[in-house]
Amino acid sequence: MLSSLIPGLLPVVGDVLDRFFPNKEEKAKAQREIASRLTDHLAHIDIAQIQVNQQEATHRNLFVAGWRPFIGWSCGLALFYTYLAQPVITFVLVQQGQYVDLPPVDLGAMMPVLLGMLGLGGLRSWEKAKGITK
């Protein structure tokens, strides 16, 4: 998310650098230095977030370490209900002569979360298969 700020910041930085560096070569060098430092800074932020995530995942308290699995199970249950349980239950009820309109689950907001978690889960499985983690 923060890395998307760099392309937006560089033109502003370039305008400011125009005032201080009339020479185009010096300006380009300064711009490269600023872009490099911004990228390094964003990488440090990402590493810090990864360390926080690792500490959260190893925490013994279920309230701290269990929120990610809770979100995963919630999304999985919603997906199960939408594509499997709701159609089967509706079919069975209709066969018995009961017409019940089961409420649908709007997966529009939930699917990006689920797909993101599945992508991360796939990466974790790859790490385990390669023997990188326990």
For a pLDDT cut of 90, what percent of the chain falls above it? 15
* 5-9, 39-43, 108-112: range with lowest mean pLDDT: 5-9
Dihedral sign for Cα 77, 78, 80, 81, please. Answer: positive
Mean pLDDT score, 108-112: 85
Contact in structure between 21 and 34 (CB atoms under 8 Å): no
Is the pTM here over 0.85, yes or no? no
Distances (CA, A) of 74 to 39, 44, 121, 127, 128: 35, 32, 15, 24, 24
Mean pLDDT score, 86-108: 91
Contact in structure between 30 and 17 (CB atoms under 8 Å): yes
> Confidence class of residue 52 from pLDDT cuts 50, 70 and 90?
confident
Q: How far apart are CA 125 and CA 119, in angstroms?
A: 10
Structure tokens at 46: 């990402």
Mean pLDDT score, 38-55: 79
What's the residue count for the chain?
134
